[in-house]
Each structure stands twice: as C-alpha cells, then as structure tokens.
C-alpha cells in the first residue's frame, strides 16, 4: 500500500500509452498523482528475448509492454509479423507470467484492477485485486476483426467487475441492465489546453502552406471514418482544404481518397494539437454510421469547441445529444448537407455562439470525470481485505 493509504492501480489495455493521448491517458495520469499506476499494454513483437519492458512516462505512469520474441525479426512491430504463429494458450501463458513478475518485482500486493478490454481476462483472472473496474469505452465487438470470444469474455468480466463505467450515454443505455453498478462518464476535455488555440499560433510547418478555408479533423483515421463522404465534400468544394491530422490505423493507405485538397499530416503529439486547430476555419467529425460508431462518444467534440472551432459532425448519437440539440454543433450526413453546414459555420458570427459553448464546457473537465470515477472505486474497495501476493503464493506451495 502507498503512503497515501490507497491501493495501487493496475490497468490492462488494448490501447498503447504513446499512441494517442485520450481517455486512458487522461485518467491514469490523474490517478498517478496519488498512487502508483501500472499500465499494461498488448504485446509488441520482434527481435530479442521475450521480456517485459517497463518505463515510467512523464506523467508518472509505469508503462509495461510485453515483448514477444520472433525468430528472424529485424524490428519491433505492434502486431505479429506475417507468418508468425503463436498458439493463443501459449501467448496467454507468457502474458500471465510477465504480469505476475511485474507485480512481484514492484511489490504490488494491494491493488485495483482496471480493464479496458475483456480479452485481458485470459491472463489475469487468477489475480485477487481489492476491486475490479471495467471502463467500457466502446462496443469493441462491433469492430472489424474482433475476436469471436470477446462477447463471452465481456460477460465474464461483467460478472467479476465491482464497478463499470461507459464512455457515453448511448453505451450506458445499452449496458445498464447488464451490471448493477454501472455509471456513464462521457468523453471530457482539458479546456485550458485546447483554449490555447483561440490565442493564435504560428502555423506548424506542415500546415503553413495549406490555403484557407481549412476544414480540419484530428484523431485516429480508421474503419469508423466515412471516406466516401470525405471524398465527396472535397470534390464538391475543391477550393476548400480538408486537413486530416492523425495516424491511419487498421485500414490500407490505398483506401484513403487522394485529391489535391485533402492533406494527411499524420499523427501529432497531444501538446501540438492546439497549434493545428488554431489554423482551421471549421472542424469536422466525418464518421460513418455503422455498428462500429453506434456507441461512439468522440473526445474531439468538446476539444474542438474548447479550441473555439465551429464543428460539423455526422449524426453520431452522442454528438447529436447534447451538442446538436443545443445548437453547439451542426449535424449533417449527406455530402450536400455537410457542405451546406460547413458554409453556415464559415459565415456565422461567433459572438453569440462562443459564450454558449463556454457555458456548456464549464461543466466538463477530466478532473471532474476522474474525481467521480475515483469516488465509485473507493467505495467499491472500502472494507475489502488486502490480498497479500506473497502469502497467497506460499499458501499454494505443496506440503513438504
């Protein structure tokens, strides 16, 4: 136990710490201010011995990455190289062993176990934490390539979890009958960080030569993006510049529309994002309406607004309510409607709109979200016995 009297926090995640700074990073960074936090990623693959790489992030979080040896590999990759075959049972056994070693090496004997993916149950179900948390950001089973066993694993995790959070209200409505202690915590925002965009920035080098008007997107570019809509808008208004800031993930680069007025600038650091947004005339959320986006609650919605950018979004339910219904974001699904909404945003006066935006954002902060989650976790952990890993290990030794 830490000097604060609080148990450690062990987070098992399908997202990488240094990929995109989003919900897990905001929350774990805040927990790390008061207790030790261990963020365990999915494996990386490549040369060198199978081991666990543990580094401390600038935010104070211990980031642990299982490294799986691949014969003949020359570089580390986030996914197994083509032709690599590791039996699922063996991979789970490796991860179980590495996780156990992490806890033992760092003296983690009193902890809260936090899941972002039910698949992590396969190598952690024998652990005995003070409390189990399931932060359900998305309906992962709706994503392409989702393991068939994921829904079964989620059912097991729901039975084990002491408290469950959802990443949006629509997802909460879908899950609330499945767990007795579930709470909605939609995406929040660090308002002061993104409000820097309102002060103006020199354009980043890779954006400086792009003409105006600029219609910008910031975030992961993956299967959830409506690429056909993006292309149609670009063709309808060749004088507009569509700026796409973010990594391309799990879709082919060849699938991206390539037009002179669509600019792919790649992934950027979290601290760089306000400087890009400062140079946009309008921000956009061109998400497809599919099973993968049915429960989406885009973090970028309040971030765009904090940056003072007018926003156009497709009709993602957690954007329509509350942002669309309050007149803070324009909603459009067809290319014609999207173009019209952007035109309206370009023409609107911000004198009346921005005060309403700021009044709404005054109720949002990651600090507030973290504090609310912490209250539920502390309540779940209160009075639970401390599970001592050393004594547990000794009790499992055979009699001599």
Contact status, residue 381 vs residue 7, Cβ threshold 8 Å: yes
Smallest Cα–Cα separation from 310: which of 293, 337, 290, 331? Answer: 331
Give the Cα separation of 141 and 132 in Å (integer): 21
Q: Which CATH class is domain 8-188+366-395?
A: alpha beta
Contact status, residue 119 vs residue 16, Cβ threshold 8 Å: no
2: its two tokens: 């830490």
Domain 191-361 has CATH 3.40.50.12500: no
- The model's pTM: 0.89
pLDDT at 341: 98
Give the Cα separation of 295 and 271 in Å (integer): 27
Give the Cα separation of 193 and 358 in Å (integer): 14
Domain ranges of the chain: 8-188+366-395, 191-361
Non-local (6+) Cβ contacts of 27 within 8 A are 135, 366, 369, 370, 373
pLDDT at 187: 83
Smallest Cα–Cα separation from 60: which of 89, 37, 91? Answer: 37
pLDDT at 400: 30
Give the H/E segment covering residue 111. strand 111-115
Contact status, residue 149 vs residue 46, Cβ threshold 8 Å: no
pLDDT at 79: 81
pLDDT tens-digit map of 55-89: 999 999 999 999 999 887 888 888 888 777 788 89
Contact status, residue 29 vs residue 60, Cβ threshold 8 Å: yes
Query: Which residues of the chain register pLDDT less than 70?
Result: 1-4, 383-400
Smallest Cα–Cα separation from 142: which of 299, 316, 285, 295? Answer: 295
Is it true that 8-188+366-395 and 191-361 share their CATH fold? yes
Count the neighbouring beta carbons within 10 Å of the beta carbon of residue 56.
Answer: 10
Give the Cα separation of 224 and 288 in Å (integer): 6
**Integer CA distances (angstroms), 316 to 11, 108, 223, 241, 273, in order:** 28, 41, 15, 23, 23
What pairing do the DSSP bridges indicate for beta strands 182-184 and 62-69? unpaired
Smallest Cα–Cα separation from 348: which of 334, 323, 329, 361? Answer: 329
């Amino acid at each position: 136990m830490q000097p604060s009297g609080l148990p450690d926090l062990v987070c098992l995640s399908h997202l990488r710490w240094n990929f995109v700074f989003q919900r897990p990073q905001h929350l774990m960074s805040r927990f790390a201010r008061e207790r030790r936090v261990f963020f365990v990623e999915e494996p990386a693959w490549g040369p060198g011995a199978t081991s666990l790489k543990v580094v401390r992030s600038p935010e104070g979080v211990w980031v642990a990455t299982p490294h799986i040896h691949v014969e003949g590999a020359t570089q580390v990759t986030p996914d197994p190289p083509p032709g690599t075959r590791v039996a699922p049972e063996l991979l789970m056994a490796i991860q179980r062993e590495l996780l156990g070693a992490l806890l033992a090496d760092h003296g983690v004997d009193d902890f809260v176990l936090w899941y972002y993916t039910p698949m992590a149950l396969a190598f952690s179900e024998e652990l005995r934490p003070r409390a189990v948390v399931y932060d359900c950001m998305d309906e992962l089973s709706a994503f392409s390539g989702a393991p068939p066993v994921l829904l079964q694993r989620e059912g097991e995790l729901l039975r084990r979890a002491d408290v469950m959070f959802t990443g949006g209200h629509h997802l909460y409505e879908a899950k609330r009958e499945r767990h007795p202690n579930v709470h909605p915590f939609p995406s929040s925002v660090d308002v002061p960080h993104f409000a820097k965009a309102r002060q103006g920035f020199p354009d980043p080098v890779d954006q400086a030569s792009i003409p105006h008007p600029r219609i910008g997107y910031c975030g992961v570019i993956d299967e959830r993006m409506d690429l056909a809509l993006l292309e149609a808008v670009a063709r309808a208004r060749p004088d507009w510049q569509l700026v796409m800031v973010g990594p391309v993930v799990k879709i082919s680069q060849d699938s991206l529309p390539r037009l002179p007025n669509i600019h792919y600038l790649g992934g950027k650091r979290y601290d760089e994002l306000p400087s890009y947004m400062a140079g946009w005339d309008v921000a956009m959320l061109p998400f497809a309406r599919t099973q993968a986006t049915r429960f989406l609650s885009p973090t970028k919605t309040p971030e765009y607004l904090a940056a003072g950018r007018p926003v156009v979004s497709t009709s993602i339910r957690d954007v329509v309510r509350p942002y669309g219904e309050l007149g803070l974001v324009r909603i459009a699904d067809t290319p014609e409607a999207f173009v019209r909404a952007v035109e309206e945003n370009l023409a609107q006066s911000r004198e009346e709109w921005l005060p309403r935006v700021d009044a709404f954002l005054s109720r949002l902060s990651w600090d507030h979200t973290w504090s609310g989650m912490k209250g539920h976790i502390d309540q779940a952990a209160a009075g639970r016995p401390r599970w001592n890993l050393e004594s547990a290990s000794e009790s499992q030794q055979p009699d001599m």
